[in-house]
Amino acid sequence: MKPIRSLAFVINAEKLGAVDLARSLVSAARAKGVRLKETTRFPLRRGFLKGWDACCVIGGDGTLLGVAREAAEQQVPIIGVNRGSLGFLTTFSPDEAKMEFDEILKGSFGVDRRAMLECVIERGSGTHALNDVLIKTELGTGLVHLEVFADGELVTDYLCDGLIFSTATGSTAYNLSAGGPIIHPAANVIAMTPICPHTLTNRSIIFRDTVKLRVFNRTAGTRVLVCVDGQVELKASTDQPITISIADIRLPLAQQKGYSHFAVVRTKLKWSGGAAERR
């Protein structure tokens, strides 16, 4: 990567130690003559990152999700520094960020271009998701009846608490909690996982990258809530199908050189076993 000459900081001031860490990294960048700007407000307004070389997000994965759409649209790499809990997306620890920051400013980091979902409500709004799109009842409780088509072919209909449509990146988020599969982020697929379906035969389905999914709300008299990355909420009535597909844009996510997805998964999910322990 090219050296970073302009760097935007997004800081979640509610996270313990985030403000102090930001001061340290801002000071280091300023000493190198890097042009800077900071905000503690997210999701970011559109155009906030236009013309900037990179964005350093200090917080948890939720903070990064509040930056993802703007960063993807502007193609600005996100350097995620974890001050949250799990931190699947904010892959730099505070110590790693401090130790490696001079090298990061020199452009010494990798960039993984993560697939995103495009979600469009017919005759309504559309947006992008890095992790997932959740469809459930407008009130958030009770069963919803959803019918799913893939490239015009009926997949099935669901009576459930909701449906999660996940990217590979988001497979370790709500999808995993709902019993869905862990998917390597390089796999260009969409996972569909029902939440508490009223049949034992309904399981996750993995769709190829070119699929166009259309979801119809068949719940009489009830609108559905479409929650995108836990950040944006849209609503759809029974006559407004929801289209979900892999987006044309991708999120550039900065990573340490030698980054290992499975090492992160082992650490974050506390996987263990005899073979891993022997190594």
CA distance 149 to 192: 12
| CB-CB contact of 225 with 240 (8 Å) | no
Backbone dihedral angles phi then psi of residue 131, each to the nearest 5 degrees = -95, -65
| CB-CB contact of 77 with 70 (8 Å) | no
Selecting among 53, 61, 132, 229, the annotated active-site residue is: 61
Q: Which two tokens stand for residue 54?
A: 């990179």
User: Measured at the alpha carbon of residue 266, what is the angle toward residues 111 and 208, in degrees to the nearest 5?
Assistant: 60
> Tokens 């844009």 identify what position?
249
Q: Report how far Cα 263 is from the mean position of its chain's Cα atoms.
A: 19
Strands 132-137 and 162-166: antiparallel
CA distance 216 to 146: 6
Q: Report how far Cα 138 is from the mean position of its chain's Cα atoms.
A: 22
Active site residue 20: no
SS3 call for 189: coil
| CB-CB contact of 127 with 232 (8 Å) | yes
Backbone dihedral angles phi then psi of residue 94, each to the nearest 5 degrees = -55, -45
Q: List residues with catalytic annotation.
A: 61
